[in-house]
Amino acid sequence: MRVLTVGAGAVGGFYSAKLAQGGARVSTVHRSDFQEVVRAGIRVESIHGDFHFTPHRVWEQVADATERADYILVATKVLPLIDTAAVIAPAVGPGTVIVMLQNGIEIEGPVARAFPDNEIVSGLAFVCLSRLAPGRIAHLCHGRVVLGRYPSGLSPAAERLAACFRKAGIPCVVTDDIALERWRKLVWNAAFNPISVLSGGMTTTAIMADREIRQLVEAVMAEVVDVAASAGHRLPEGVIAKNLEDTMRMQPYRTSMLLDWENGRSLEVEAILGNLVSAARRLGVATPRCETLYALLTSLTTARPDAARGV
Amino acid sequence: MRVLTVGAGAVGGFYSAKLAQGGARVSTVHRSDFQEVVRAGIRVESIHGDFHFTPHRVWEQVADATERADYILVATKVLPLIDTAAVIAPAVGPGTVIVMLQNGIEIEGPVARAFPDNEIVSGLAFVCLSRLAPGRIAHLCHGRVVLGRYPSGLSPAAERLAACFRKAGIPCVVTDDIALERWRKLVWNAAFNPISVLSGGMTTTAIMADREIRQLVEAVMAEVVDVAASAGHRLPEGVIAKNLEDTMRMQPYRTSMLLDWENGRSLEVEAILGNLVSAARRLGVATPRCETLYALLTSLTTARPDAARGV
């Protein structure tokens, strides 16, 4: 199984290493970390023990990759400035499976339309990772992956990839309704990520301890559940309570969006809130709180010039 | 007419100077600017021509003021940490009229309850002022004052004060429904002030030019109009459109809350949003956007230690 990972930051680097442990031949494309990874590979400092990964080949851009891959693993951020279809196009051949291991909802459309004859496997990673330096990744907790054919249905290609992940110790399930899973993950992301930034840098624990802010979290989650239901994705009763209980059990946690903000990187505002608000408007569902967060966060990130550039 | 001004910052200093021009004998209480005002008085650099004001007496705290005043002009910010009733208590005698020239809604209650036998005149200033240095105030635009007896009704005392303002060239009307005027001013304040801060520092012009943010402004204003109506204060049809048109005609303007934020001073979150949200909950009116702004702004200001102290 030949894999080419595009966007080999923390998520791409970590799961590339895991797929290699599972037996895949994994090459990677690095924009900023190219030289360091060529020199020293990728080092993962994991709670389960540190390990090292040397990609089969390392490329600076997708067009350089001479070897055809069975899977392209897309692990870039979902940002308006990144035209994912154009980025991966040079490596997409007949039969290449495109795996989109990214955040947000309704993010697959442009890639699916650009490659109508290729299978798209959509995926979610439940993991805490942090990029320590070029080629150095900290793995802090979790690691589970959920995969599924886009827009829905069975996928032998996803099953093969899942088997490879599992062989490397990564819990991985394949679902026939990946969109539902994206909405499920969005319940947490749409609330905690924007609020952690707009509140001036609150941890999950601080958010849960503040009555007004926790009420806001719950109300935002309820809006997401409403939109999901109108979009045909009925989340289980009690999904909000479960999210809050799980968060209460977490260590104080700075969301990925907050870390991006504090480090001057771009935020996935569109993937997490913009697409949600668009869906709500399309479906005629009122989401006053999500709209408020979206408008404020868009302005906040636009106001900071460095955030518009970085990735 | 003897006036004692408490909280002689930009607003207090400017209107003290105007009342003196109108013939009142005005003494002032200064916390931080005391020494400079004793030495050199107050200088106002006004669009209508610069002028100078020497208070009749200058005090460092209210308890020092030995001369009884007919009016206490309260021009402090409305902050939870400031117990206005306790601050002014040493200067309140029988017959003293307490004038609260401050922002927000439902701010008079504690003072009215502390001095049930004194007349409370509630007032609003429509003015752009900026404190340049101790004892130096810039007057950038407008100046109009609206006064009215709290909670409502006719007020000869307010009429006398208004006459004094007018003599000094300050347009001043007396209303028998000052609460309505507070709600009217809140329509603008509750939208533009919090959004200017939470959006990362947008001017009024930038806010009006951004479709999402302008929609948010309109929706917040509609919530305020709804709460006002439920509280028995029916604002005129078209009040939102008029606010937006007036704002379009303004020069790019940084709201007072944004200037406070940028200068590390406390924000009047409770007076402008907290009391609004409390009223909405008491009256059973849904204000999801105002609640969102309130929760975020409270957290943002709590997260910054210096903002909790300053005034």
Give Cα separations from A258 to A113, A201, A267 (angstroms).
32, 7, 9
Could you tell me if A224 lies within 8 Å of chain B, comparing CB atoms?
Answer: no
Interface contact B212-A293, CB threshold 8 A: no
Distance CA A127, CA A10 (A): 10
Could you tell me if B305 lies within 8 Å of chain A, comparing CB atoms?
Answer: no
Q: Where are the strands (E) in chain B, listed by range?
A: 2-6, 25-29, 42-46, 51-53, 58-59, 71-74, 97-101, 120-133, 136-149, 172-174
- Indicate if the pLDDT at residue A303 is higher than 90: no
Give Cα separations from B289 to A223, A233, B206, B221 (angstroms).
13, 26, 20, 10
Q: How far does A299 lie from chain B, in Å, by closest CA? A: 5
- Indicate if the pLDDT at residue A48 is higher than 80: yes
Residue B305 confidence (pLDDT): 60
Token pair listed for A116: 């109508």
Residue B306 confidence (pLDDT): 53
pLDDT, chain A, mean: 95
**For chain A, what percent of residues have pLDDT higher than 70?**
98
Q: Inter-axis angle of helices B211-230 and B288-303, to 10 degrees?
A: 110
Distance CA A103, CA B55 (A): 63
Where do we find the tokens 């894999």?
A3
Q: Where are the strands (E) in chain A, listed by range?
A: 2-6, 25-29, 42-46, 51-53, 58-59, 71-74, 97-101, 120-133, 136-149, 172-175
Could you tell me if A222 lies within 8 Å of chain B, comparing CB atoms?
Answer: no
Residue A251 confidence (pLDDT): 86
Q: Which of A254, A241, A229 is nearest to A130 (CA)?
A: A254
Domain B2-176 bears CATH identifier 3.40.50.1220: no
List, for residues A117-153, the tens digit of each pLDDT value.
999 999 999 998 988 999 999 999 889 999 999 999 9
Nearest CA in chain A to B293: A292
- Which residue, among B192, B199, B204, B214, would best test binding to A if mutated, counting the most A CBs under 10 Å from its CB? B199
Could you tell me if A205 lies within 8 Å of chain B, comparing CB atoms?
Answer: no
Distance CA B94, CA B306 (A): 39
Q: How far does B295 lie from chain A, in Å, by closest CA? A: 5
Distance CA A79, CA A59 (A): 22
Select which of A18, A77, A167, A185 is catalytic. Answer: A185
Average pLDDT over residues A77-106: 96
Q: Is A117 helix (H, G, I), strand (E, B) or coil?
A: coil
CATH topology of domain B180-303: N-(1-d-carboxylethyl)-l-norvaline Dehydrogenase; domain 2 (1.10.1040)
List, for residues B75-85, the tens digit of each pLDDT value.
999 999 999 99
Distance CA A15, CA A36 (A): 18
Would you say B23 and B1 are in contact if contact means Cβ atoms under 8 Å apart?
A: yes
Which residues of B are known to be catalytic? 185
List, for residues B102-124, the tens digit of each pLDDT value.
999 999 999 999 999 999 999 99
Predicted confidence band of residue A305 (pLDDT cuts 50, 70, 90):
low
Distance CA A265, CA A226 (A): 31
Within 144-203 of A, beta carbons closer than 8 Å to B belong to 195, 198-202
Q: How far does B204 lie from chain A, in Å, by closest CA? A: 13
Residue A155 confidence (pLDDT): 95
- Which residue, among A192, A198, A226, A304, would best test binding to B if mutated, counting the most B CBs under 10 Å from its CB? A198
Could you tell me if B52 lies within 8 Å of chain A, comparing CB atoms?
Answer: no
Where do we find the tokens 């709460």?
B227
Nearest CA in chain A to B191: A292
Distance CA A105, CA A282 (A): 14
Q: How far does A236 lie from chain B, in Å, by closest CA? A: 24
List, for residues B174-226, the tens digit of each pLDDT value.
999 999 999 999 999 999 999 999 999 999 999 999 999 999 999 999 999 99
Residue B309 confidence (pLDDT): 40
Token pair listed for A198: 């707009």
- Indicate if the pLDDT at residue A307 is higher than 80: no
Residue B31 confidence (pLDDT): 87
**For chain A, what percent of residues have pLDDT higher than 90?**
91
Predicted confidence band of residue A308 (pLDDT cuts 50, 70, 90):
very low
Here the ipTM equals 0.90
Q: Which of A46, A56, A49, A202 is nearest to A128 (CA)?
A: A46
Please, what are the averages of pLDDT over each run of 10 residues along chain B (311 residues)?
94 98 97 94 96 97 94 95 95 97 96 98 94 94 95 96 98 98 98 98 96 98 98 97 94 91 94 98 98 97 61 40
**Beta-bridge mates of residue A124:** A146
- Indicate if the pLDDT at residue A311 is higher than 70: no
Q: Inter-axis angle of helices A275-283 and A211-230, to 10 degrees?
A: 60
Residues of A in contact with B290 (CB under 8 A): none
Nearest CA in chain A to B291: A216
- Which residue, among B207, B212, B214, B294, would best test binding to A if mutated, counting the most A CBs under 10 Å from its CB? B212
**Beta-bridge mates of residue A125:** A145
Could you tell me if B222 lies within 8 Å of chain A, comparing CB atoms?
Answer: no
List, for residues A185-227, the tens digit of each pLDDT value.
999 999 999 999 999 999 999 999 999 999 999 999 999 999 9
**Beta-bridge mates of residue A129:** A139
Extents of the domains making up chain B: 2-176, 180-303
Residues of B in contact with A294 (CB under 8 A): 212
Residue B310 confidence (pLDDT): 41
Q: How many CB atoms lie within 10 A of CB A110?
A: 12
For residue A194, say if its preceding peptide bond is cis, omega within 30 degrees of 0.
no
List, for residues A225-262, the tens digit of each pLDDT value.
999 999 999 999 999 999 999 999 988 889 999 999 99
Give Cα separations from A241 to A125, A183, A237, A248 (angstroms).
22, 16, 9, 11
Among A195, A213, A300, beta carbon nearest to B200: A300
